[in-house]
Amino acid sequence: MYKIEVKNSLCEGPFICGKCFKVCPSLVFFAHPKSREPYKITNNWIVTGIFADQCTGCMRCVNICPKNAITIKETT
Amino acid sequence: MCDWCMEHGDGKKWYLNIKNYTKDFFGPLKEKGKTPAISHLEELYFQLAQIVMSWVNEKNPETATNLRKLAEERYQLYGLHQVVTLEEVNQILDIASPIAKYACPCERILRAKPEEKRCFSFGMSLDFVREWPDFFRGGVEFLSKEEARECMEKFDEQGFVHAVYIYKKPIVGGFCNCEAPSCYAIKISRERGWNFYKRSHFVANIEDNKCIGCKKCISRCQFGAVSYSPTLNRAVIDPWKCFGCGVCRVACENDAIKLIPRENFPSLNNVWWYSLPEKK
């Protein structure tokens, strides 16, 4: 199994870039607001590599990320 | 027999029962200061994703079963999808009003594509466009019944599976036009075998001597139910995998694929989910 880390300080956000979402064959990434105020539109969306158990380690997201914000580590 | 139709159908299919379009379920929730689950769908989906991951890492089988049950119960109360055919879509559009389309939340969450308006919403939920701007991100586009029909036909041709969804059991929320694996419910169903996506009241069937083996239907199935048999020199549909959406029949030039009511197959009559009942 892999562990996927996305550095939010480097990442431009899912709607501005979002390249990793389009290349991932197993859809491990999840876009969601960092915090939410009720009844308001949120613009602080972040990327999380939540479904890490589906990751095959193909490294497409790591290679395509323009900010080098994604790291994939193998865990036991 | 479909358990939802028994419970909420009043003799019809639950999504064709007008009562399930008119109940006011937002009012009391708002008075108590609670927001319905839909207003923070990303949060619900994120929580479910966290449950999925703790289920993956859980060593104790009993705790794992409980986690799965918890997720399924929550999803079936606040977001259940049931596949419907294009004919049923038209029947629903007859009774639903007003109708509007908005950008698909699953695609926003899983593909970071917030643009294309492919989900439909009906009735009272549309009062809440201003109050839940995040759910209806990108705004809504109101449609007449004819426009909605045209739209749905176009999606059918493109190969999207139509599913009717709830905002809260058993209130009909609208339609989804889903594809695997960008749809959250199909993704979780296919990857984990969890009961998030309900099959339709039909099963697709290929008439043996009509199929010429052109293989066009195979690529349209989002559930991996259709394959090509070189022995028979024609396409075959696995009825245990078929969700009865009817998307495959659009590609058939010879009109060989027909949808047959699920109740005609005694052993499929209780097969409503991705995971099959245990056989021994």
CB pairs under 8 A between A and B: 66
Find the mean pLDDT for residues B92-97.
Answer: 91
- Whether residue B75 is found in the same domain as residue B177: yes
Burial profile B227-256: b = 16 or more Cβ within 10 angstroms, e = fewer: eeeeeeebbbbebebbbbbbbbbbbbeeeb
Of the candidates B150, B173, B198, which is a domain's last residue? B198
Residue B269 lies in a domain: no
- Whether residue B151 is found in the same domain as residue B192: yes
Find the mean pLDDT for residues A5-31.
Answer: 93
Residue B86, helix vs strand vs coil: helix
Å between A13 CA and nearest CA of chain B: 9
Find the mean pLDDT for residues B119-144.
Answer: 83
B38 pLDDT above the threshold of 60 = no
B109 and A38 within 8 Å at the Cβ level: the answer is no
Chain B residues with CB under 8 Å of A16 CB are none
* Number of structural domains found in chain A: 1
**If you measure CA to CA, which chain B residue comes closest to A26?**
B181
- Identify the CATH number of the domain in which residue B256 sits: 3.30.70.20
B135 pLDDT above the threshold of 90 = no
Helices (H), B9-78: 19-22, 26-31, 41-57, 61-78
- Whether residue B101 is found in the same domain as residue B181: yes
Residue numbers of the domain that contains A14: 2-37+44-74
Å between A8 CA and nearest CA of chain B: 15
Mutation target for A interface from B113, B129, B131: give the one with most A CBs within 10 A.
B113
Residue B224, helix vs strand vs coil: coil
Residue B232 lies in a domain: yes
What are the tokens at B82? 């049931």
The residue among B187, B196, B158, B176 whose CA lies nearest residue A25 is B187
pLDDT band at A36 (very low <50, low <70, confident <90, very high): confident
pLDDT of residue B131: 73
C-alpha B72, offset from chain centre: 15
Of the candidates B176, B198, B220, which is a domain's last residue? B198
Give the A-side interface with B, CB within 8 Å.
14-15, 18, 21-22, 26-27, 29-33, 36, 38-42, 47, 50-54
Examine the predicted complex and report whether its ipTM is higher than 0.90.
yes
Chain A residues with CB under 8 Å of B183 CB are none
Q: Between vectors from CA B13 to CA B10 and to CA B15, what angle results, nearest 5°?
A: 100
pTM of the complete model: 0.89
Residue numbers of the domain that contains B144: 3-198
- Whether residue B34 is found in the same domain as residue B156: yes
Rg (CA), chain B: 19
Report the residue from B43, B112, B131 with minimal CB separation from A21: B112
B110 has a chain A CB within 8 A of its CB: yes
**If you measure CA to CA, which chain A residue comes closest to B138?**
A41
B172 pLDDT above the threshold of 70 = yes
- Whether residue B9 is found in the same domain as residue B53: yes
Residue A74: strand pairing partners: A2
| Helix B145-158 vs helix B86-95: crossing angle, to nearest 10 | 160
B42 pLDDT above the threshold of 80 = no
Please state, in angstroms and as integers, the Cα–Cα distance from residue B208 to each residue in B227, B232, B235, B236, following that order: 14, 9, 9, 9
pLDDT of residue B49: 92
B24 pLDDT above the threshold of 60 = yes
B192 has a chain A CB within 8 A of its CB: no
Residue B276 lies in a domain: no
Chain A residues with CB under 8 Å of B110 CB are 21, 27, 29-31
- Whether residue B133 is found in the same domain as residue B241: no
- Whether residue B26 is found in the same domain as residue B86: yes
